[in-house]
Amino acid sequence: MIRDENRSRRQFLTSTAAVAFSLGAGAIVGKSLFADPTQLALRVDKAPESHPLIPALQMGTAALKTLEAVEDYTATFTKREMIGQKLVDTQMEMKFRHKPFSVYLKFIKPSIGREVLYVAGQNNSKIKAHDVGFSSLAGTLTLDVDGSFAMADNRHPITKIGMHNLISIVLEQWLAETKMSDMTVNFYPKARIGKVSCKAIETSHRSQESGAKYSMTRLYVDSSTGLPIRVQQFDFPQKNKKKAELVEDYLYSNVQTNVGLKDSDFSTSNPKYGF
C-alpha cells in the first residue's frame, strides 16, 4: 500500500512539473534544424522579379547570410503567442550554439528560475528541464521534444528556436507567397525597438482568399548588426473585429554573438545551474 502511494505521488509530481514546465516553453521544440542558406538564396533568385515581395526576400536573405558568421550567442528571448483566446507572454535568458544545435533557457517570467536544456543528439534527443516551486519536487525531468507535455499551450515546436530558424521560416513563407497576388509591402528604414535602430519590412494580404496563413508579417533587422531580431505575425480579422490580431511575436534582445560557449554551458552538470 505504501509503495503504491509513493508511486502515485511520484507520478503526480512528474505530471504536475511537466505541465508547469510546458507553459510558456513553446517555440523551442521540433525535429528539423536549419534550412540550407545557399538553397534558400537560390530559390529567392528564381522568384518573379516583378513581385512586390522581392525587397522582403532580399532583406531576409541578407540577414540569413549575416548569421553564417555566428557560431553562438547569448540573448534575452521574449515571445508572445496567442493560445486559445489569450496572449501569453514569456521571457527567458538564452544561450544558443549552432553546431551541434544546443539551447539553454532560464525563465525570467513566468516561473522565474525554471531551466531547460536541449542538445541535438544528446540525452536520447530529449529535453532536460526542472521547474520551480512545488513542481520542483519532481527534480530534473526528461521530456520528449514533441510530446504532449513539451507542446502543451504552445504554437510551435525546441529546434524552432533561434534567429536562424526565425528568418528561415519567414523566408519560406514569403517564397510561397510569391505565387500570390494582391499584396502590399511597406519598408521602414528607421524603425526602432526600444533603443535599437532597425530596418523593418511589413507584408500584408488584403484578403484571406489567396490562402495566406497570416494577414500581416513584420520582420525587424538590427541596423548595426544585420541580425534578424524580431518577427511578428498577425491573423486575419475575425468577423466581429476590424483589425488584424497579433498571434506571434518573437524578439531577441541584448544579443552577444560568438562568445565562445562551451559544452558545459549546455550540461546539467554545470554547477551554476539548478538541475
**113-128: per-residue pLDDT in tens?**
999 999 999 988 899 9
Q: Is the pLDDT of residue 9 over 50?
A: no
Q: What is the pLDDT of residue 42?
A: 80
The residue whose grid cell reads 548569421 is: 67
Q: Which helix (H) or strand (E) holds 144?
A: strand 141-144
**What is the pTM assigned to this prediction?**
0.84
C-alpha cell at 118: 536541449
Q: What is the pLDDT of residue 76?
A: 98
Altogether, the residues listed in the chain come to a count of 275
Q: Is the pLDDT of residue 20 over 60?
A: no
**64-107: per-residue pLDDT in tens?**
999 999 999 999 999 999 888 889 899 999 999 999 999 999 99
Q: Which residue blocks in the chain are alpha helix, DSSP H?
A: 2-22, 37-45, 54-67, 148-151, 163-177
Looking at the DSSP bridge assignments, the partners of residue 192 are: 197
Q: What residue ranges do the domains of the chain occupy?
A: 2-266
Q: What is the pLDDT of residue 66?
A: 96
Terminal-to-terminal C-alpha distance of the chain: 31
Which DSSP string do the residues of 194-228 spell out, in sequence order? TTEEEEEEEEEES-GGG--S-SEEEEEEETTT--E
Topology annotation, domain 2-266: outer membrane lipoprotein receptor (LolB), chain A (2.50.20)
Strand, helix or coil for residue 145: coil
